[in-house]
Amino acid sequence: MRRPPTAADPARGTGPARRGGGTPLALLAVALLAGALPGCYAPQIGLLRSGLDSLRAVVDTMQVRDELALAVLRDTRREVGEQRDILLSTRASSGTTTQEMMEQMGRLQGKLDDVMGRFQQISQRAAAPPAAPQQVDPNQLYDQAGQDLSQGRYALALQGFRDFVRRYPTAELADNAQYGVGECFFAQSQFDSAGVAYAKVEESWPQGDKVPAALYKLALSRDRLGQKDAAKKTFEDLVKRFPNSGEAQLARERLGDTRRR
Amino acid sequence: MRRTLTMAMVAMALGAGPARSQTPTDVRLDISSGEGRRIRIHCESLQPGGDRVAGTWSVQADDVLAHDLDWSAVFLVSKAWAGGSPPMDVQAVVGGKLTVNGSQVRLNGEVRDLPARRPILLREYRGPVTDWRSLVHAFADDIVLQFSGEPGVARTRIAFIAQNGRNKELYTMDYDGARLAPLTADQSIALSPAWSPEGSLILFTSYRGGTGPRLFVTSSTAGRPFLVSGRPGLNTSGSYSPDGREILCTLSQDGNSEIYVLDARGGSPQRLTNQRSIDTSPAWSPTGREIAFTSDRTGTPQVHLMDREGGNVRRLTYDADYTDSPAWSPKGDRIAFVARTGGGFDIYTCRPDGTDTRLIVSGGANENPRWSPDGRHLVFSSNRGGARGLFVSDLDGTPPRKLETGGLISLSPAWSPRPASGGSALRVTEGSPTPGGHP
């Protein structure tokens, strides 16, 4: 942090002043000697005076230079101090920043892991359905829904059976799947929806082997809803149209029950 | 240079980021992926403390605990007292301290990982000395839970029929054959026991009173049978619904065997089958929505399924000319049944849709398979050891093990549900490491 040199810059004259370090003292000694001999050598006194003047000038100059030098020294010292302070504070703040940064990075990494995990889950989920229509085996879809039903996962089973009916309405198991839809509702005591689902078995697959079972369950659903007359009609319908089915046997018993009541 | 240093520090911070401090409960291993693969665990002797008798107790407790872990089908057990150091691939070491003070016993159970021996499970069990087996079983069940995510069945019991001459009496015992106790002494014939869903009652068929087979219920701890169904003809094969409100059974009041649902007191009969054929051996699905049963409606006895209300009957399998005795797994994913093949009876399982049939036990006559409440085991009766006895299969290809039933000729087993937590005198607390114990 050197200041630009100026005309009054003492540094410029530093070299010569030092070199002639003994000269002003010698002149002073001559002057004193001259003072000790008054009136003897008048022309020499004038010379001495002028020498003295020049000595004073030199001393003055030297004092100015010293003061300037001191000022510069003070300035420099202050600047060094400032520099040190700046340096120290910079070091401290850079330490804090690093630590903060590391913590922040740690937090960000955690969040990143989180997001990546979620992203993977989402992308897997997202990837599965588009691949499904081509790849899924109808039997596998039906079997899985059946497993879900047997294990009490009714929401999943319902989704599976409905999916099957929508995708493979002409498959041999389509009426079974529709019956499964009814079972999912019946198991959860949603007899209204169950009735609708069972009724659809005959509507959509009148030749299917699930019709007697679906009619029996339709009648039971109506019975559970308190629609006794509608239930009775359905039982009678079942007995009339599928007299040899196991469900017709059960229906006869139910009709016997209702008659007894 | 400074930039390089900073980057290095950040890299270190990132490396340290994902590491989380692990508490004992964080340790859980996934074993579902490797069916049949067991976790190696090493049993060290329990250190006796308190009264002088503790030494004798602890030696017995060592064996009970090692058996429990072995029979869980989750672990491959090595024992410190059998000599040698733990095998190289042992994942955990089990031990602790057994303290007896008068009539009270305390088990400080410890499970530690290897080689660091950091605690995985530390738990304290207290109870009356007379119930020390339950303490050990509870510890074993907790270890199984820790490593498999599901508690074991070491605190369950098995009901069965013991034959003595012409008489057949109802017995219960711990799942490992200990604490055998008769529930009937009718000098009559008892058959086909079945537990209530919470384990307090046992339903069974008996000829007691001399009027043919009738359905009775008794407390599972004290035999005092009450009549549930004494209708004309057969009253057999009773089993409680999963909610305990209904009873499935076979009645022949109409001339031939049909399947009925009764209420829990034996009233309000509802017929579910109505065939000239014989329909019998009904078994609930765990949801209570489906029923597996045996019917000879297609010519030979075969396992069929139907809805809880009857109807929607479908045959389970088409592979054998005779199938019988269905039992639905507690998770609902499989059905065990007996198939006649050649001169013997084998036990198979399949999915409820009839697919994925697997042979579980063959050779001799293997009958009456019943699931453990965790679905990891099947208990069945067999003549494979000579006299008819009870065996357990772990379903993982290991040979069935015989259950010791005090030399009794045993048949028709039924596995109890797990005991309700807090239902016994047992007290359990999270423990701290035993001072100076179990290094």
For the segment B128-140, the average pLDDT, to the nearest whole number, is 95
Residues 6+ apart with CB under 8 A from B279: B250, B257, B258, B259, B273, B293, B294, B295, B297
Residue B419 has pLDDT above 60, yes or no: yes
| Contact between chains at A179 and B351 (C-beta distance less than 8 A) | no
> What are the chain B neighbours of A183 within 8 Å (beta carbons)?
289, 307
Q: Which residues of A touch B (CB under 8 A)?
A: 98, 101-103, 105-106, 109-110, 113, 143, 146-147, 149-152, 179, 183, 187, 210, 212-213, 216-217, 220, 246-247, 249-250, 253
Question: Is B314 within 8 Å of chain A by CB?
Answer: no
- CA distances to A6, A73, A93 from A78, rounded to whole Å, are 21, 8, 22
Beta bridge partner(s), residue B353: none
For the beta carbon of residue A115, count every other beta carbon within 10 angstroms. 10
Closest partner residue to B274 (CB to CB) among A105, A106, A249 is: A249
pLDDT value of residue B358: 94
Domain ranges for chain B, please list them.
36-152, 157-415
pLDDT value of residue B317: 87
Residue A135 has pLDDT above 80, yes or no: no
Question: Is B274 within 8 Å of chain A by CB?
Answer: yes
Residues 6+ apart with CB under 8 A from B201: B195, B217, B218, B219, B220, B240
Q: Tell me which of A76-85, B124-133, B143-152, B164-173 is least confident.
A: A76-85
For the segment B279-306, the average pLDDT, to the nearest whole number, is 95
> What are the chain A neighbours of B17 within 8 Å (beta carbons)?
105-106, 109-110
Euclidean distance between CA atoms B248 and B260, whole angstroms = 6
Quick: pLDDT tens for B107-116: 999 999 988 8
- How is residue B401 written in tokens? 């093990």
For the segment B95-107, the average pLDDT, to the nearest whole number, is 95
Residue A218 has pLDDT above 90, yes or no: yes
For the beta carbon of residue B356, count every other beta carbon within 10 angstroms. 11
CB B419 within 8 A of CB B156: yes
Angle between helices B2-16 and A42-135 (to 10 degrees): 30
For the segment A151-170, the average pLDDT, to the nearest whole number, is 96
Closest partner residue to A187 (CB to CB) among B18, B289, B310 is: B289
pLDDT value of residue B211: 83
pLDDT value of residue A54: 78
Residue B132 has pLDDT above 70, yes or no: yes
CATH architecture of the domain formed by B157-415: 6 Propeller (2.120)
CA distance A16 to chain B (A): 46
CA distance A76 to chain B (A): 28
CA dihedral A140, A142, A144, A147 (to 10 degrees): -140
pLDDT value of residue A233: 96
Residue A109 confidence class, pLDDT cut points 50, 70, 90: low
Residue of B277, B307, B334 best to disrupt the A interface, most CBs of A under 10 A: B307
Q: Strand B226-229 and strand B39-43: pairing?
A: unpaired
Euclidean distance between CA atoms A220 and A254, whole angstroms = 9
Q: Which letter, b or e, does each residue of A14-28 get, where b requires 16 or more Cβ atoms within 10 Å of its Cβ?
A: eeeeeeeeeebeebe
Closest partner residue to A250 (CB to CB) among B274, B285, B351 is: B274
CA distance B63 to chain A (A): 37
The sign one gets for the Cα dihedral A54, A56, A58, A60 is: negative
Radius of gyration of chain B (CA): 25
Closest partner residue to B275 (CB to CB) among A98, A152, A246 is: A246
Beta bridge partner(s), residue B253: none
Residue A122 confidence class, pLDDT cut points 50, 70, 90: low
Percent of chain B with pLDDT over 90: 72
Percent of chain B with pLDDT over 70: 88
| CATH number attached to the domain at A138-260 | 1.25.40.10
Which DSSP category does B45 fall into? P
Q: Kindly report the average pLDDT of chain A as a whole number.
A: 76
Chain centre distance of CA B252: 32
pLDDT value of residue B247: 97
| Contact between chains at A249 and B275 (C-beta distance less than 8 A) | yes
Residue scoring higher pLDDT (A9 or A199): A199
| Contact between chains at A151 and B290 (C-beta distance less than 8 A) | no
Q: What are phi and psi of A120, to 5 degrees?
A: -60, -45
Closest CA to A184 of B127, B118, B264, B287: B287
| Contact between chains at B331 and A151 (C-beta distance less than 8 A) | yes
Quick: pLDDT tens for B230-278: 999 999 999 999 999 999 999 999 888 999 999 999 999 999 998 788 9
Quick: pLDDT tens for B327-370: 999 999 999 999 998 889 999 999 999 999 999 999 999 999 99
For the beta carbon of residue B385, count every other beta carbon within 10 angstroms. 12
DSSP E strands, A22-93:
none
Residue of A150, A173, A210, A253 best to disrupt the B interface, most CBs of B under 10 A: A150
For the segment B379-385, the average pLDDT, to the nearest whole number, is 92
CATH architecture of the domain formed by B36-152: 3-Layer(aba) Sandwich (3.40)
- Chain B: residue nearest A152 by CA? B287
Q: How many helices (H) and strands (E) does chain A have?
A: 10, 0
The sign one gets for the Cα dihedral A56, A61, A67, A69 is: negative
Residue scoring higher pLDDT (B421 or A184): A184
Closest partner residue to A253 (CB to CB) among B9, B14, B271 is: B271
pLDDT value of residue A120: 63
Quick: pLDDT tens for A34-93: 444 444 456 677 777 777 787 787 777 777 777 777 777 777 777 777 776 666 665 555
Residue B411 has pLDDT above 70, yes or no: yes
| Contact between chains at B290 and A150 (C-beta distance less than 8 A) | yes
Euclidean distance between CA atoms B374 and B394, whole angstroms = 11
Closest partner residue to B287 (CB to CB) among A110, A152, A246 is: A152
Residue scoring higher pLDDT (B18 or B317): B317
| Contact between chains at A247 and B311 (C-beta distance less than 8 A) | yes
Q: Tell me which of A45-59, A158-172, B162-176 is least confident.
A: A45-59
pLDDT value of residue A98: 55
Residue A131 has pLDDT above 70, yes or no: no
For the beta carbon of residue B85, count every other beta carbon within 10 angstroms. 9
| Contact between chains at B311 and A216 (C-beta distance less than 8 A) | yes
Closest partner residue to B355 (CB to CB) among A102, A110, A143 is: A143
Residue B222 has pLDDT above 60, yes or no: yes
Which DSSP category does B277 fall into? S
Q: Kindly report the average pLDDT of chain B as a whole number.
A: 87
pLDDT value of residue A8: 39
> What are the chain A neighbours of B332 within 8 Å (beta carbons)?
147, 150-152
Residue scoring higher pLDDT (B3 or B181): B181
pLDDT value of residue B55: 87
Closest partner residue to A146 (CB to CB) among B14, B307, B353 is: B353
| Contact between chains at A246 and B311 (C-beta distance less than 8 A) | yes
CA distance A250 to chain B (A): 7
Residue of B279, B353, B356 best to disrupt the A interface, most CBs of A under 10 A: B353
Quick: pLDDT tens for B3-53: 333 333 333 333 333 333 333 333 333 333 334 589 999 999 999 999 888
Question: Is B241 within 8 Å of chain A by CB?
Answer: no
Residue scoring higher pLDDT (B8 or B212): B212
What is the ipTM, given to two decimal places? 0.79
> What are the chain A neighbours of B310 within 8 Å (beta carbons)?
216, 246-247, 250
| HSE-CB of B75 using CA atoms within 13 angstroms | 28
Residue A128 confidence class, pLDDT cut points 50, 70, 90: low
Residues 6+ apart with CB under 8 A from B328: B283, B284, B285, B286, B290, B292, B334, B335, B352, B371
- CA distances to A175, A184, A237, B308 from A202, rounded to whole Å, are 8, 18, 12, 21
DSSP E strands, B241-334:
246-251, 258-263, 270-271, 279-284, 290-295, 302-307, 314-315, 323-328
Residue B235, burial from CB neighbour count under 10 angstroms (0-12, 13-18, 19+): buried
